[in-house]
Chains A and B, each alone.
Chain A
Amino acid sequence: MKILLVEDDAVSLKLVSTVLEKEDYEIIIAKTGKDALGLLKTDTDIEIIVSDIMMPEMDGFKLLNYVKSSPKLMRMPVILTTAMNDKSTVIKSIEMGAAGFVTKPIDQKALLAQVKKAVESIPGSILVVDDEDLIRNVLSRIITRAGFKTTLVSNGDDALSALEKQKISVVLSDMKMPGMSGLELLEKVKEKFPKIPVLVMSGNQSEFNKNNLISAGADGYIEKPFNNTDIILKLRSLIK
């Protein structure tokens, strides 16, 4: 788990990075909001931001605003730190969408609790299951552009093992695949991971099959050839 730490004061920087590294978080440092933006553009492994508020050039509020208004970054939790402790700053942070707020002197336990909560709030991957390379790649591009992570697999068995191993928010599965069919996969996912929504995609489904999908617990149906907007809107409605 990689955290972008934005802090212009060297003492606070050392303290916060030491506390987070002790808990095995990977830290990348920016000393100004502007540097932070540069890193956010180039380093796609960053999952959380811990940022000071008062900094030269671009302050923590502006950074938070940038993150929350970028479709790609808007789900990234931002925890703000500050030596201010007036109520209005805390309220402003929360209203602007900060995931947490830590005042200086830094309370290690409070900081770690907020980071842990932020980690839990990060959506998992969208698991794309399709036997066709081209479709997987197109879907991956559409979905990552909307700010979600993707995990790509070509069959039902690999899908089930991905579900065992990592945090998955939604399964997006083709119906017609060699080996395990989409319907079988749907049934297995609903049995083993009942909380994970499944969207199924297919062309030319008869009414009979659509009814089967509904009784098997599908959370949505995407007609092929698919419409990009339709996929993103359905994913968004499933990931709150």
Chain B
Amino acid sequence: MSFDYQKAMSVVENDKDLFNELFQIFLEDKDNTFSQIESALQENKSEIVERSAHSLKGALSNLGATTAVESAYTLEKLAHSNDALSIKAAFDELKNQINNFIEKVKESEDLK
């Protein structure tokens, strides 16, 4: 599920304002994390990719982004085993899933 509303609400104990605040922080932060991952990929620094993916996994899990959490975990594992070819594809998949999540949150009637 791109956005699990129930899960997200259980983390913030139904405080929608807090969720929105966390979501804004995520939006502001993600581009920075993406560019960190991109430069780490170019420089072949897989430990930075692993750590950034791990950090994204934590952030996304607090926001109920179930599918993106899985993608972040996949990227983290591949970066750990330094599987250069699959890392790139996994990163693209993570970006896709994050975009899906952001769209779903923005469309969500429950949050309005």
Contact = CB atoms under 8 A, between A and B. Distances in A.
Interface of A: 8-12, 14-15, 18, 52, 54-56, 82-84, 104-108
15 contacts: A8-B55, A10-B28, A11-B58, A12-B58, A15-B11, A52-B58, A54-B51, A56-B51, A83-B57, A104-B58, A104-B61, A105-B61, A105-B64, A108-B11, A108-B13
Contact of A11 (B25, B51, B54): B25
A55 B58 CA distance: 12
Given A14-B22, A83-B61, A9 B55 contact: yes
Interface residues of B, number: 23
Contacts, number: 59
A9 B11 contact: no
Interface in B38-71: 48, 51, 54-59, 61-64
Contacts of A11: 22, 25-26, 29, 58-59, 62-63
The secondary-structure label for the interface of chain B is helix
B104 interface: no
Contacts of B57: 83, 104
B44 to A, nearest CB: 17
Interface of B: 7, 11-13, 18, 21-22, 25-26, 28-29, 48, 51, 54-59, 61-64
Nearest to B48: A56
A9 B61 CA distance: 12
